[in-house]
Structure 1
Amino acid sequence: MDEIVSPVAVVDEDKCRRNIRHMVTKAKKAHVAFRPHFKTHQSIAIGKWFREAGTEKIAVSSVIMAEYFATDNWQDIMIAFPVNIREISKINELASRIRIGILIADSHIVESLVQKLTAALDFYIKIDVGSHRTGFSPDVMVPIENTLNQAKANGNLRFKGFVAHAGHTYQTRSLNDVQKIFKEGAGALAKLTNYFRKDYPEIIASWGDTPSCSLMNEFPGIDEIRPGNFVFYDLMQYHLASCDWNHIAMVVAAPVVARHPERNEIVLYGGAVHLSKDFIDLDDEQLIYGECVKFTERGWERFSKPVYVKRLSQEHGIVACPEEYFDDFCPGSLIGVVPVHSCLAADLIGRYYEITEGKFLEA
C-alpha cells in the first residue's frame, strides 16, 4: 500500500462480490426484481461486479450519475430522486437513447414535464411511508389521481408504479422494529399499487433501504427492491445488525500524522471531508465518527479493544487510542477507518484501492 499517500477508500473485492451475490440470490428466492442503487459506490469498475452477477437495471440519485453509468452501457436506469425540471434537457437526451425512469414527488411538476418532455420515459410516483423526507401520502388518493391524469397529456410519460424508501429503518435497534416498519410501509405501498392496477395493470411497487432488504427474507406486496449500501455496509449498518463485521467491504485508509500520548490521542489525515460528519451515539454518550482497524497482508482486522474516531475537523481525524495500541499508530503509517456511512465517505473520496490485488480501481 506504499502508493497510498492521502485518504482513499479501500475495498475488498471478494467481500463486495459476496455481498452482491447474497442480495441477488435473496431477490430471486423472494421472487422480486433487483434494481441495486449505485449511489453508494458510484464506480463503473464496481458496477461491472454487479453486471457479472446478473444485474441488468440500476438506480442512481442524480442525472449526472445516470449519464456516467450510461457510458458503460447500462440501459435501464431509475433516477431515484425527485425530478429536477431544470435538468430536463439532459433527461431528454438520456431518454432518447436508454430507458430512464424519473420520480415525481409533487404534482405541480407534471405541467412542466408535459410541456418540456420530448422523449419517452418511465415515471414513478414517490410515496412517503413514514420517513417524511418527501413523497405523496399513501392514504390520500386525489393528489395521485390528479398527477396521473395530468401526465396523460404527454404520451411520452409512461406510468411505471410507486416507489418508497423507508429511511426510518436507520433509527431502529432491532429486527422487530425493522419488520414493523416494513409491514406497515410495504402494506400501504401494496394497497396503493393494487388500487391503481385496475387502470394501470403493469405497474409495480418498488422498495428500497438496506436494513430491511438485509434483514427480511420475504417482501410481500413488493415487486422490486433497491438497496444500495449493502455492497460495502458500514459501521452504522453493523450497529443496526444489518450485517456481520466480516460483511463490511470498505474502509478509509488514513495516514497517521501525529501522536499525543499525554491525552491518548492520535491524529489522522482523514477528517470530515473524507469521512463525513455522520456519527453514532453510543450508550455512554460518546459520539463515534468511525472505528479504526489494522491493515493486514490481505485485508484488515479489528483491534481487540475498540479504537474510535471521536472528533473531526475538515482534514483532521482525532482518535481515542488505548495506550497499548500507540505503536500501531506511528506517524507515516496507514490506519483503516470503518466509516459510519460508507455512501458519503465513498462520494467524498471518489477513488478506490482494491486491497487483495493491491491496485487502484479504474474510474
Structure 2
Amino acid sequence: MEKLEVKNPTLILDEKICRQNLSNMAERAKKHGLKLVPHFKTHQSLLIGEWYKDYGVQEITVSSFKMAYYFKDKGFSNIHIAFPFNPLLISDLNGIQDQSISIQLVNEEVTKALATDLTKETGFFIEIDTGYGRTGVPIGKLEEIDAILREASFSHKLKFKGFYIHAGHSYYADLEGIHKIQKEIQEAFRILKAKYKSQYTELVCRSGDTPTCSIMDDFEYIDEIGPGNFVFYDITQAEIGSCSREDIAIILAAPVVDIKKGNNEILIHAGGVHLSKDVLNLNGHKNFGEVVYLNELGWEHPTAPSYLKSISQEHGTIHASAQLMDSIKIGDIIGILPIHSCMTADCMKEYKTLNGRMVDHLEGRGITG
C-alpha cells in the first residue's frame, strides 16, 4: 500500500471486489428474469457508473435531480429519480433535453402541478409503502393511487410506468424478517397488478432494497430490481447476511496517531466527518467500523477482530486485539471497513483505487484519471 502514498484519511476502492459485486447482482437478475436498474446513490461516481455497462445495465436509479443531471449524458437510456418529486423542480425537469427521465409520485397535489406545467414527456412510478413508513402511498389506500392516476390522465406528458417499493426496514431485519418483508412486497405487487394491469398493460413493479435483492430467491410479481448498496456492501449488510466481509469493496485508510498499550487502544485520524456516525451494537458494544490490515495487494481480514469503539468529529478510538497491538506503530496506516458505505462515500467525496487512480464523486472533485 505504500505506492498509494496515503498520509491523510483516504477512501480506498478495490475495483476487483466492486466488479465482482456487480457481476453477482447482474447474474441474480438474469437468473430470476428481472431487469436490473441499480441505484447510484451509494457510489455517485461517473467512472464506477461506467463499469455497470459491462454487466448489461442500461437504465439507472438516482436519489436527486442533481444526481440525475450528473449522469444525464453518460449513455443510460433512462434515469429514474427515486425520491418523491419536488414540484419546485418542474421547470428544471422541462429543461433537460435528449435524456429520458422518470420520476416518483406519492400524492395527488404534485401530480396535478405536473399535469399543468410539464412540457416534456416524462414517465412516472407511484411509490408504495409496505411497512417502512418513510414515504409512499400505503398499500391499503388504493384510492390515493386512483387519485394520482386520475390527475396524471389530464396530461399527455405524464406516462405511467408502474409501482416502486423501497423496503428500507429490511436493513434492520434478521433473515426471518427479510423473508417476511419480501412476502409483503410480493403481496402488494400482486394486489396492484390485479387491479391495474388490465388498464395499464405495460406497467412494471420494481423493488429496490439491497437485502431482499441479495438474499431472496422468490421474486414472483416483481419485474425489476433497483438495489444500490450492493456495489460496495458494508458491515451492516454483512451482519444482515446480504454479503460476507470479504465482499466489502471500500475501506477508509486512516493514519495511526497514538497508541495506548495499557488500554489496548489505538487513536486514528478518522471520525464522523470521514465515516459518518452510523453505528452497530455488536456483541454488547458499539461498533463504528472494523479493522483490516493493509498489504501490497489491498487488505486482509484479521483472525482476531479489532473495531472502532468510539468516534468524534476527526478522531477515532480502536479497541485493538493483542495481535494488532503487537504489530502496530505510530505513523502506520490502518484500514476501516465502514458500517454504512453510502454515508462514508458521501463523507469522503472521492476514492482512490489500489493502483492509485483518483475516482470522482458527485459531491467532490470530478477526477476520473
TM normalised by structure 1 equals: 0.95
After superposing the two structures, state which structure 1 stretch, 133-142 or 66-75, moved more: 66-75
Q: 2:357 aligns with which of 336, 340, 359?
A: 359
Distance 2:309 2:107 in 1: 40
Alignment of 1:162-241 (within 5 A): 162-174=163-175, 176-241=176-241
Q: 2:71 aligns with which of 48, 60, 69?
A: 69
Closer, same or farther: CA 8–71 of 1 in aligned 2, 3 Å: farther
Deviation at 1:7, TM superposition (A): 1.8
* Structure 2 residue identity aligned to 1:5: K
Q: Specify the alignment match of 2:120 in structure 1.
A: 119
1:300 aligns with 2:299: yes
Q: Specify the alignment match of 1:130 in structure 2.
A: 131
How far does the alpha carbon of each residue in 1:277-333 deviate from its partner, in whole angstroms, 9 at most, with x for none? 11111132x111100110111121122211111111111111111344225432222
How far does the alpha carbon of each residue in 1:172-227 deviate from its partner, in whole angstroms, 9 at most, with x for none? 122x3211210122211232133111211111100011111000123110010001
Distance 1:260 1:313 in 2: 18
Alignment of 1:256-275 (within 5 A): 256-275=256-275
Deviation at 1:16, TM superposition (A): 0.9
Distance 2:29 2:322 in 1: 46
CA RMSD of aligned residues (A): 1.4
Q: Specify the alignment match of 1:107 in structure 2.
A: 108
Distance 2:111 2:264 in 1: 58
Alignment of 1:50-89 (within 5 A): 50-89=52-91
Q: Specify the alignment match of 1:158 in structure 2.
A: 159
Deviation at 1:336, TM superposition (A): 0.8
Contact 1:79 1:100 in 2 (8 A): yes
* Structure 2 residue identity aligned to 1:104: L
Distance 2:88 2:121 in 1: 18
Q: Specify the alignment match of 2:250 in structure 1.
A: 250
The residue matched to 1:147 in structure 2 has which SS? helix
Q: Specify the alignment match of 1:147 in structure 2.
A: 148
Deviation at 1:74, TM superposition (A): 2.4
Distance 2:276 2:190 in 1: 35
The residue matched to 1:202 in structure 2 has which SS? coil
How far does the alpha carbon of each residue in 1:150-190 deviate from its partner, in whole angstroms, 9 at most, with x for none? 1112211101110001111111122x321121012221123
Contact 2:234 2:337 in 1 (8 A): yes
How far does the alpha carbon of each residue in 1:218-257 deviate from its partner, in whole angstroms, 9 at most, with x for none? 3110010001111111000111111122211111111222
Contact 2:232 2:248 in 1 (8 A): yes
Q: Specify the alignment match of 1:38 in structure 2.
A: 40
The residue matched to 2:138 in structure 1 has which SS? coil
Distance 1:12 1:89 in 2: 40
Deviation at 1:270, TM superposition (A): 1.1
Task: Give the number of aligned pairs.
Answer: 359
